[in-house]
Amino acid sequence: MKLADKEIKKRLRAFSDIGLDSSPEEIMERISKKDIPKKLDTSLKKGEIIIDPMPDLDIYLGPSSIDLDLGRKLEVPDVPLEIVKINNEIVIRLFVVDFRDNHHNRSLLEQHTGITQIDQSWKRFDLKNGEIFELPVGMQVNIFTKQVICIPYNLEANLDGRSCFARKGITTHITSSRFDAGFCGFLTLEVKNGGSCNLNLVPGMRIASLSFNQLTSEVSVPYLKKKGAKFSGQH
């Protein structure tokens, strides 16, 4: 049974609402080490849904789902990228060779700090204030949500894209749309541009929605307590 808006709103909590004053990143770091705050465990046992930061519900809460924003943490294929200024905006995009420019284009690696090489084919970095990532046609990137989501022990969540993006050929997840009871972390959006135009990805843009299904009972082992839960406390 899918939860309606009234039930979602009744269950929603931010970390401060349950007495946790640490940053979402600090809380996720604890969870990734299986150091689960007691107040969080109690809240999830009670069926409360944690979303932090809490969005404006007048805008983000739909009839049976809640919208989510793009965050700043980005995982991209290991392809040549550059930073350029276009119309007073800082844009990160595929490297463009322009012989008229006498090769003055500067690569992302020359200008950006905090780039992490995940493996031979992917790298990770955070978009800084004022930066935009230009997603070319055919490319997939992984980008975390702005909000942390903690799913109670008697619910399952499903991630969907928003129709305004879908109509332009943009997908927000490939196959991993289900989140188990007890998942707690930033959600990874697998964004792929299947349209005919490049897409600017801007932190804070509403791009996905999350709905919740009621389970028949509380699960025996919530995801954040499961051994080998690879994405528990994802941040």
The residues assigned a catalytic role are 190
Cβ contact 50:40 at 8 Å: yes
What is the torsional sign of CA 44, 156, 207, 123?
positive
130: tokens are 């004022």
Which run of H or E residues covers position 113? none
Helix then strand count (H, E) for the chain reads 6, 15
Torsion angle, alpha carbons of 202, 203, 208, 213, to 10:
170
**Cis ω on the peptide bond leading into residue 203 (within 30° of 0)?**
no
Cβ contact 6:57 at 8 Å: no
Type of residue at 118: I
110: tokens are 């020359």
